[in-house]
Every structure is written in C-alpha cells, then in structure tokens.
Amino acid sequence: MSESESTGAGRSRTGILDEVLVLSGGLSEADRPLVRDRLSTLEKHLSRWDPASVTVEVSVKNRGGREQQVTLRADLPGYPPLAAKVVDPDLDSALASARRELVRQVEDEKRKREPKSNRQLREKPL
C-alpha cells in the first residue's frame, strides 16, 4: 500500500469503503471486489466521517432469482439509519440503483442539517 493510500487526505477511491463495508445475507468475501467496485462512488459521500463510526452493510435476498432484492444500509453519526432497497434480477444493476438511492438519502439528510439550505433561516424580516 502506498503512503497516499494509507493517509487520510490521500485515500484511494475505495479506502474508506474498504474499512466500513460489511457483506451479509447472500454475499460472501468472494463478492467483495465486485460490491466495492459498484459502490465506489459512495466514497466521496462517506469521507466526511471517521471510518470508525461508519457502517455500510450490503445484503441480497433471493440471489440470482427474478425477485432478487439488494439492501444497502448505512449507519452514519448524527443521521438516522439510511436504507435503500432495490429489486432487480441483475446484481450489478441492483447495486448501482441502491447506491444512487443511498446517495440521494445522504444528500437529503445533509441538506436538512445545513442552515444555508434552509430558506427561512436565510431570509431576514423586513
């Protein structure tokens, strides 16, 4: 591992994800590279937290079936538990859709907490 990959400021794209990713229900360690690759864009959204306090769990029900369901759950400090569930027979597509939904939820929660995003707090009475 290079120095830039081991330091906080120069993490590789999947540095934080490697530390916080938990595979469960229908996924094995052999699936880790595929899952990590499909969820790699979560990296920039998770980088604001300490990896020791973050958990991202991925599970699959009915793997390989027409009703395959991927659940992506994130526990982030100061946020309620976030979960994205997607039904799709293609694992790659399901992981990508769940990732997009989780990113949307993280961004929504972030907007709720930023005063600059709240028009009522920005407006001054005349």
Q: What is the pLDDT of residues 49-85, one digit of tens each?
A: 888 889 999 999 988 788 899 999 999 998 999 999 9
Residue 119 has pLDDT above 70, yes or no: no
The full length of the chain comes to 126
> pTM score, two decimals?
0.75
For residues 84 and 90, give the distance between their C-alpha atoms in angstroms, rounded to a whole number: 16
Phi, psi at residue 47, to the nearest 5°?
-65, -15
pLDDT bucket at 4, cuts 50 / 70 / 90: very low
Mean pLDDT of 26-31: 89
Across residues 88-115, what is the average pLDDT? 89
Higher per-residue pLDDT: 20 or 5? 20
